[in-house]
Every structure is written in structure tokens, then in C-alpha cells.
Amino acid sequence: MDYAEISEKLVKYLDLKYEPVAVKVIKKGELIPEGYSEPEKNLRHCQSIMKARKGESFVIPADKHACVVGGSSLGILPTPDKVASGEFHKNIGMFESTEAAAEMVAKRPAFEPGSRIATVVSPLKDAKVEPDVVILVDRPETVYWLIPASTYFKGGRVNFSSAAFQATCADTTILPTLTGEINLSLGCFGCRRATDIEDDELLIGIPFGKLEEIVSALEKIYEGPMQKARQK
């Protein structure tokens, strides 16, 4: 697959403000790909996504992941006791009890602890390794068109799963990788506090194995339904 060509089509058909972001979570035993530099300062996974949509590329090993919540769900860092018990998220003030917060953590999508060693994040057009997922951060109208594109050939409905936390890690990196289906997130407390995501932007994760099919569908609806709906 020509990543630059696919990226160009996504930008054109969806009228994206930002670059599609390629994300690869490197498994234990795999080589970390060459051609990427580590960030100067530790980054949260959400921060790396927001920087990549504006053109930056990184390889982020365990000791460069700034967020233990995201890093642990990605299978790169151990889950701290305060996170697993619910104490960490309860103290933020968004759950009535530690039990409620712990229930969220227990049910979050996650890779096996210790199964991954790094993340590789870049604009899709610059990707040097096959990504697990492609993440878009953009406006609701733009992201909407991935729904008809994902149901164009087989029909049906699209289901989304989300929570108050972990928009870029659990919702749009891990879940699409595990299920092979797109997943939408409205954003989360962490990414809205720690990144430059706008108030009117949200995220969607596209499993790489489904990307060509979705782009093919977008090509078919671009000149017809899409233009009609966009006429003001």
C-alpha cells in the first residue's frame, strides 16, 4: 500500500484539517523500526497523536511514555495499584466511588501486560512501518463519512465503545486493533486537558486492515451523496 497516496485520498475526500495518523504498537520480541527519533521530553500517547496530526513522527519506548494509564493499557507499562484500585481516577473527581472507577479500568480495552515495548506514531504519509491503526482527529461532519464508508459494501450498523478516559489509547488505538472495526471517541479528560484538541473535534480509529476498503467506499460516495450533503 502506498501510504502517501492513501493519506492524500483521505485528506481530499474527507476534507481533513489534519494529517491522518499512523500508529504501530511494537510487540515484545519485534525490532523497533529505524528512521524514527525519540521525543526530547516524555509524551503521553494522546500528545503524540496530536503532534503527529501536525506532521511530527516519534518512536516512544516505555521510558518515554508520560502517562501510566495509557502506557499500561497499551501493554508497555505495568498498571499502578492506584489505577487498578480506582483510587487514581476517583481522586480526579469524575467517579462517586473508587469501586466505580475501578470498574471502568477493569473493563477498558487493553493489550496483555508486558506484551508491547514501544509505540511508533507518525503522519500516515510518512509511515515507515505498517500501522495497526490510523487515527483521525477532526470535526464531526468529517468523521461522520467514515460511517457510510464502513457500511457501504455490507450494510449493517456501527457500534461504538467509549469511556470518560483513554480516548486515544483504549478507544482509538487498542479497541480497533482488537476488534478489526472502527471506533469513535468524543475525547477524554486526559486528552482535553493535556493536548491542543479543539472543543469541536473528536477522534476515530480505523484498523489498518480495513483502510483500503474504507477509502474505496469513500471514492464511490465522494462525488454523489457527499457533495449533496455538503451543499449549503
DSSP letter string over 45-113? HHHHHHHHTTT--EEEEGGGB--HHHHHHTTSSPPPHHHHTSHHHHHHTSSSSHHHHHHHHHHS--PPT
pLDDT above 80 (res 209): yes
Q: Where are the domains of the chain?
A: 3-230
The pLDDT value recorded for residue 1 is 77
Residue 72 in this model has a pLDDT that exceeds 80: yes
Q: Could you tell me if 167 and 203 are in contact, meaning their C-beta atoms sit under 8 angstroms apart?
A: yes
Mean confidence (pLDDT) of the chain: 97
Q: What percent of the chain has pLDDT over 70?
A: 100
Record the pTM.
0.96
Q: What is the pLDDT of residues 81-99, one digit of tens each?
A: 999 999 999 999 999 999 9
Residue 19's pLDDT is what? Answer: 98
Q: pLDDT tens across 124-182, in order?
A: 999 999 999 999 999 999 999 999 999 999 999 999 999 999 999 999 999 999 999 99
